[in-house]
Every structure is written in C-alpha cells, then in structure tokens.
Structure 1
Amino acid sequence: MSVLSSIRSQLCRLPLVLRSVAQFVLTHPLAAATSTMHRVAAKSHSSPATLTRFAQHFSYPSWSKFKAALVLELAISGSTNQQQRAPIQHSSACLYHNALLRLGLADSPELRVLFWDQRGQLDWHGDSYITPSAEAQPCPVCGVTRTAAMAPASS
C-alpha cells in the first residue's frame, strides 16, 4: 500500500494530533516531502516529536525515512498536486462522529438536528422531521462502519 493510501485509510482512527499531521501531508504532499521537519511541524500545528511519532505509526523508523518514501511515491506517481485528485469524502456518519470528537461534545438529538440540517439531509414531514437512517456501508475513506445514531424525532 502506498504512503498516501495508508494515511487515507487510517485518517479517522488517528489521534487528533497525528490527524493534524496526516491532513497536512494529504493536502500538501510535496511540501511535506521537501520541507524541513520544523517547517512541517509548524504548518501542521504539531511538533518535531509528533512528526517522529507519526512516521513510526506508519512503520517508518524516523521522519526522514517517511519523507524518503513519500518523495519516492510522488516521483513514481508523477503527481505532486493533491488538488488534482478527487477530494476525500467520508460518510456522513463518520463526519458527525469526528465532529463530536474534535469538539469534545456528546451526541444529542439537538446536535443531530443541527448537523444533518446543515448537510441538507433532514426529511421534514409537517411539524416533525426524520433524520437519516443509520448507514450500513463502511466509510469509503477509513473503512469504519459507523451508525448515524439517527431515529425519527419531532420538533
């Protein structure tokens, strides 16, 4: 599996501090491969020690070995502009779960209404709404199957 594919497949399961590095690498692979460790740490809102832990998480003994593998992958693929690729799209349930984790919030009916309404995925029936049913398919990015924890509700 390629370096970038490995990162994409584990993105949802990474601790927040490593996820920040992963998102930077996926968004700016050339900058991650060619910048100094301190610059990548600053750009990804992390530290050099976090970059080392990130590399080790993906079975590289050091950040420099990780960068070497990334440079090789970019050279072979011929693509250094991530924006030419289709954007990564997590399932709605995965996005909801990650938003709760990122914000340190617990699931609640009110938050579900706000989230699903913002995404345009609430079904309104008169004075009540029905939120999306649980998703049985795994997230196309991270492979985790999450339920949306949605059920019919009333306003």
Structure 2
Amino acid sequence: MSDRVHPSGLPYRAGVGIMLLNAEGKVFTGQRLDSKLEAWQMPQGGIDPGEEPITTAFRELAEETGITKAEVLGESRDWLYYDLPDDLIGTIWKGRYCGQRQKWFAMRFTGTDADVNIATEHPEFRSWRWSTLPELSSLIVPFKRDLYEAVLAEFAGLIGSRTPA
C-alpha cells in the first residue's frame, strides 16, 4: 500500500487532510490542544480499516471541528507524506508509525462560523481561525512544512484566484 520506505523500517500511518476554504479563500486552521508549541494545522486524521478516504475526511472534519457543511472541490492525485522528527518516532501512535501518508481534499465551507464547534467529544484544538494561504507555512510545525507546501501546490489551480493577500 505504501511505496515509500522510512529508514526506521516503520510503516506510514494512512490518513487524510482537509484544506477547508471559506468564502474569502481563507483556510481553517486549529491550534493543537496536545502541543506546548504554537502548533496549528488543518484538520486531519487516520483512516479506519475498510473506510474510504473521502468518508474519513468528512468524519474527521466533523469530529475535530463540528463542521458538517462542506463540499469537495478536489482530491490530491497521489498520497502525500510527512516524517515524524527522530525524537517523536517511537512515542506518537504508540511507536507503530514513522509518519503519515495522507490523501488530501480541498473543500469549500458552506456554513457560517456559528457552525464551527471545536469543543467536540474528543477535542483536538484549543482555538481556531481562518488563515491566509501565505501564512500557513509559518503557523505549521516545521516537520509538516514540506507537506503543506505540497498541498498548496496540489490545489493551486482550485484556489489560485481566491487567494487573499
């Protein structure tokens, strides 16, 4: 299933990511609850056994943000990868994975800010905001920056004309 091999020999965890765009072309970002760093990210999560990536994307979006009002604009052509830093391998995900391989979805938010509720059953974010595309790389933890640049490049045709300065 995975064509990329990590030096640790550990597999990549299968997951999805969601670039959720509002009417102004800004992206939903949440500040991680489990990090002492100023760590922000777009919604993402692991694929359950037998689950299709698109189903996972809508499930994770609802579980992490309370959002159920969104429509798919596009899907990444390939799986996109990130590696955990060496000091996190063996600690995150009970030491079973070296990082993630993710299928990404660009979605348009069709609700209002009142539809956002990060106080979910299993909260992942302490706060949230709509971020501009240029500021994404400065908000993201360093080990995910290449992934986010790949996501932006993948969806550039969908979002290029909607990018606020």
Normalising by structure 2, we get a TM-score of 0.22
| Greater relative contact order (Cα < 8 A, sep 6+) | 2
Please state which structure has a larger fraction of its residues in strand. 2
Please state which structure has a larger fraction of its residues in helix. 1
Normalising by structure 1, we get a TM-score of 0.23
